[in-house]
Structure 1
């Protein structure tokens, strides 16, 4: 949460090279910038987190 976590906004910009949020990071060291719910669901399924 960039509003409450110190350094989170800077980290989001560092990861994506953009000032867009949300930036969602995953355990496999990939990230998505402004993903849709469908994209997040598909990614979590591919990681075996959702079935």
Structure 2
């Protein structure tokens, strides 16, 4: 499992801003593939130094 990116979203039902970290584990061995649905959906997405 490896870190891909982080994104900020308004979390309901509390209506607070939360930063989520996207981690991914590719079972097919294709480590170049990154699921980008959340990164594309939210305007505030970024990489963190970990």
TM-score, structure 2 normalization? 0.22
Higher strand share: 2
Higher RCO (C-alpha under 8 Å, 6+ residues apart): 2
Question: Bigger radius of gyration, 1 or 2?
Answer: 2
TM-score, structure 1 normalization? 0.22
